[in-house]
Structure 1
């Protein structure tokens, strides 16, 4: 097979796009519910979800992966390719994805809407501004930050502790000089002097709660619950206390509506929201998925990182809000990733790959299979049917694919080799066929834990039942935070684990499926507006982008120019 493909941009620009009303009709969305943004992009009015009719019987498919490597395993391309292949089989399918952040777009990573012949178009619109949703999130977030400082300037009637303000500012490009700053310098009327900083917009709690909001009213209520800091007596101070939530909701009213685009093969693609996966949910929006499931036979979506982080949060956080029950989880694996998880290769983003990754070495693939086994076990723990998609590259060898297929057979898991990047939907037909088979088998989806379980026990459940740790070691600071959050009434929230994405464990150097380790819980913080508590586990230096702010996941460029901290 030829290893030469046109660039993603060349492929995207050569596409002939269908009229958007026709694309919308494939999703059972009428023109009256479309709000055009030019010829090739439109907003979908949430009124499409109104009416007496309940959700359709559309199958709900989430695309996840083995533990990611700096190479990228191709979840987004697989999701798009699968949707295109299902359409080729005569099935009404739609893909729902996150919107790319301009930080990664202008960094080494580039766009995040598929690639090759399995991507969403128009490419330039998607990666640059789209319908302005990210700018609306930036404006709403920074409005609240401005109102915090304005309140301090006018006397601080709420008694906010200047040393315990957790709400920073955001920007949708990488700018390391703004990470930590001092505001309020200058004359007295320029405000109170204090330390703060900027994070990237995709890390904003506003972005996450926009993802989880199911209506404008729900959005307004979630915004009001945002905690910006605490008083000297330990009471939380919210956006509602500052009378900011209504104005923030007004700025976000249009951003709440999902965006309709199309795949290269003319199928519907819903692009909405873009929270990162290190400390947030790493998924597209609930409203996008509700529209997708109602209007199609197969709704394909994606969760950031591997099944341990992305799929677990998708199941335990997003599905609790949406009420949707996934039928299939596609686990994307590449032979390059499995070779990396053998522990025999050192792969660093931005640096040349070891030559052995391209040589025919099925024994190295075999050595990395415990990682794939662990992700299959995680999906099965939630009662969801797993399907393994072997994302093939031109440099792969058939013997290496055969190793993975035999292993899946031993596990009793369906698998398929897919070449959707080079061949589009035609290259993913086998995958589409096995997904259809799996989707029609009985499922028994269940959450990992009940919400009334104490926060520390929820953390332990994720650590032991998902990550395979022997237990958790909670630092004194984290223990105090857990006690405070239970007292403040946050105990009923689900939990998100903030840890390195490069290993199932908290140690990024451990490959495969490590055993005999304990999850170190260093800090615990609350994202009350979004509706979860998250635990920072492991050395914070192993989680690029996580600063002292609970909303502070950043995209960092290493000294060698490579990107870290990306889902």
Structure 2
């Protein structure tokens, strides 16, 4: 395998794109269902859902990973590479992925369309605007925010209480200065002064609603259920109460249609929605998956962060919304990630790797294997078949791969080494073969908890059975919030745990698979439109800041108008 390659952007810009109509035809989507957005991109009309597939149901594969490290494990790249490998094996496969936020694109992360020779193209379009879905979410969200403040300006004494407003504004830019602001300053006609703030668009409940909606009607109803605050007496005030939901649905009508693009090898890829992974589902949309499952034989999708967060929410929240059963979960790991989880290295985002990290040291890999074993256990808890994918790097050593393979063999889990970043679908051939074999076994999928379980018990079940905590510690504020949501009729919703993604625990400093700790629940919040209650377990930033040298400083145009410096 080569030790150096062109950049992701150079590889993407050198690609020859197939006509998007041909890509759609390979998927089985007729031209009449396409809405073209320039060269290489089209939206798929929701009418494509009306064409039922023939034969057995499509197989559903979710790609997850070990606990993330600053090094990046290559989940998206593996999702694309696996799909390319499946297509190369003759399978009718499609990948469904989230659209990246422009905030991180211009911040520290750079592009997020896969990497190397396992990318979705056109790469610049994916990372910069695409078809404007993020802007539609921003506009719909901020329209509701404007109507909230209009209600405060004109409202009655028994209406929305300005002290109890929970709906902030959003923008798709990393900007720490907007985290906390005071609005409504100036003369009386300029509004009601109050404290508020901005979140990044990916953290908007509207984004999650777009992700989980199964139809325009479902979208409209979910928007109406958004709770923006309460009256002084504690009664919830919704977007429907303010008369905002209809206009929001109009703004989002086209954004509900998934975006069709292609892999570097010309296979179909659906890119749609991009909810925040810490406080939301962190998955692509239900609609995209439903269209893919209606036309393909195998659908590969991705869940954000590690299996403790992304996969658990995929199973307990997204799969409940779409009523679909996952068959296999691919758990991505790397030698570098296992060394990082040993706790023996000081690794920081944007900093050079410690030289010792690249030296042959299977003992350090072994020291981090508890994290991989924990994620395998999480997937198995849902009755889904796990497959471990070792995302290989040129600096890896065979002895280091061997200890990962030995762990998997001991646990009775299939493991495959993949080199898709450097070799495309061919490099994922072993992984594709392994997944195909495991798909023949069938899933015994089950949810982690019944919706009838009280909210506090749902949170405790996730904490103990997924994170390995000894229990939970509810603050008085959180306990009151949960009791209030139960009284208001929201007790039947699933839960999402907003915690650090850098550890299976709630402490980002704890490596591996920590034991002997308890999950602190600081407060709880309601996402009634999205359809879940989320527990805040730590300091969650919903508006990122920029690093000292953001990626935006490197992005530019050349003399021919081509993007440079994206990644």
Match of 1:556 among 545, 554, 560: 545
Count of residue pairs the alignment pairs up:
552
Partner of 1:432: helix, strand, or coil? helix
CA contact (8 A) 2:169 2:198 kept: yes
Q: What is the deviation of 1:50?
A: 1.8
Q: Match of 2:418?
A: 418
Q: Match of 2:26?
A: 26
Unpaired segments ≥5 residues, structure 1: 546-552
Partner of 1:430: helix, strand, or coil? helix
Q: What is the deviation of 1:2?
A: 2.6
The Cα offsets for residues 344-375 of structure 1, whole Å up to 9 and x where unpaired, read as 11211111211121000000001111110000
Q: What is the deviation of 1:442?
A: 2.4
Q: 2 CA distance for matches of 1:158 and 1:376?
A: 52
Unpaired segments ≥5 residues, structure 2: 553-567
The Cα offsets for residues 38-59 of structure 1, whole Å up to 9 and x where unpaired, read as 1210000111112566895211
Partner of 1:152: helix, strand, or coil? helix
Question: Does the alignment pair 1:462 with 2:462?
Answer: yes
Q: Match of 2:557?
A: none
TM-score, structure 1 as length reference:
0.95
CA contact (8 A) 1:350 1:560 kept: no
Question: Does the alignment pair 1:198 with 2:208?
Answer: no
Q: Match of 1:337?
A: 337
Q: 2 CA distance for matches of 1:312 and 1:16?
A: 38
Q: Match of 1:165?
A: 165
CA contact (8 A) 2:152 2:161 kept: no
Q: 1 CA distance for matches of 2:138 and 2:158?
A: 25
Q: What is the deviation of 1:343?
A: 1.1
Q: What is the deviation of 1:562?
A: 9.9
The Cα offsets for residues 186-223 of structure 1, whole Å up to 9 and x where unpaired, read as 22211111111111100000000100000000000000
The Cα offsets for residues 305-349 of structure 1, whole Å up to 9 and x where unpaired, read as 000000000000000011110000000000100001111112111
Which piece of structure 1 moves more, 390-399 or 245-254?
390-399
- 1:102-501 equivalence runs, <5 A: 102-156=102-156, 159-501=159-501
Q: What is the deviation of 1:286?
A: 0.2
Q: What is the deviation of 1:158?
A: 5.0
The Cα offsets for residues 153-202 of structure 1, whole Å up to 9 and x where unpaired, read as 11346521211111000101112222211111122211111111111100
Q: What is the deviation of 1:136?
A: 0.3
**Change beyond 3 A, Cα 1:198–1:362:** same
Aligned Cα root-mean-square deviation (Å): 1.4
Partner of 1:229: helix, strand, or coil? strand
TM-score, structure 2 as length reference:
0.95
Q: 2 CA distance for matches of 1:156 and 1:169?
A: 23
**Change beyond 3 A, Cα 1:55–1:33:** farther
Q: Match of 1:8?
A: 8
CA contact (8 A) 2:23 2:267 kept: yes
Q: 1 CA distance for matches of 2:264 and 2:442?
A: 33
Partner of 2:522: helix, strand, or coil? strand
CA contact (8 A) 1:56 1:295 kept: no
Partner of 1:556: helix, strand, or coil? coil
Partner of 1:260: helix, strand, or coil? strand
Q: 2 CA distance for matches of 1:480 and 1:350?
A: 41
The Cα offsets for residues 392-418 of structure 1, whole Å up to 9 and x where unpaired, read as 111111110111111111111001110
Q: What is the deviation of 1:558?
A: 5.0
Partner of 1:520: helix, strand, or coil? strand
Q: What is the deviation of 1:28?
A: 1.3
The Cα offsets for residues 245-301 of structure 1, whole Å up to 9 and x where unpaired, read as 000000000000000000000000000000010000000000011111111111000
Question: Does the alignment pair 1:64 with 2:64?
Answer: yes
